[in-house]
Amino acid sequence: MAGTLSQGIKLSYKAGSSSSYTDLTNLQEIPDIGGSADSVEVTTLADSAHMYINGLLDYGDSLDFTFLYEKTQFNTLNGLSGSNSWKVTLPGTGGATATFDAEPSVRLNGVGVNDAITYTLSLKPSSAITFA
């Protein structure tokens, strides 16, 4: 049976004029990555049913990644501004990657009694997502 375990997925970023990506630690959850095309109706009076073509890809409002809280990384991410380059790397030899530019924002997640403290990194895509 084929398959790949999620263990080892990485999220990394490249800020400003940096030439290399910085791997983030304590990643717990990643969102769906990719988009679905909007439908554009192209029905004419000669058609016997509604006809559609694919429109623009919609990646959603933001991509939300969940991390265990660690003060230094939280503060670093909270200090990023503007659009940065991001890369999601799947595990395994020659793991697939998804790269894109996005503007980050960070928020602490709510907690209850006996919960681990986590935060969410929300990325608003500002480029197409490229898979390799």
Number of domains in the chain: 1
Cβ-Cβ contacts under 8 Å for 124 (sequence gap 6 or more):
61, 62, 102, 103, 104, 105
Residue 9, pLDDT score: 96
Residue 1, pLDDT score: 54
- Residue 1 domain-assigned (yes or no): no
Q: Which of 31, 79, 81, 62 is nearest to 125 (CA)?
A: 62
- Residue 4 domain-assigned (yes or no): no
Question: Mean pLDDT in runs of 10 for the chain (132 residues)?
Answer: 84 91 98 95 98 95 97 97 95 86 97 97 97 94
- Residue 55 domain-assigned (yes or no): yes
- Residue 51 domain-assigned (yes or no): yes
Residue 50, pLDDT score: 97
Cα separation, 54 vs 33, whole angstroms: 19
Q: Which of 9, 6, 34 is nearest to 23 (CA)?
A: 9
User: Residue 75 belongs to a domain with what CATH number?
Assistant: 2.40.30
- Amino acid of residue 97: T
- Residue 5 domain-assigned (yes or no): no
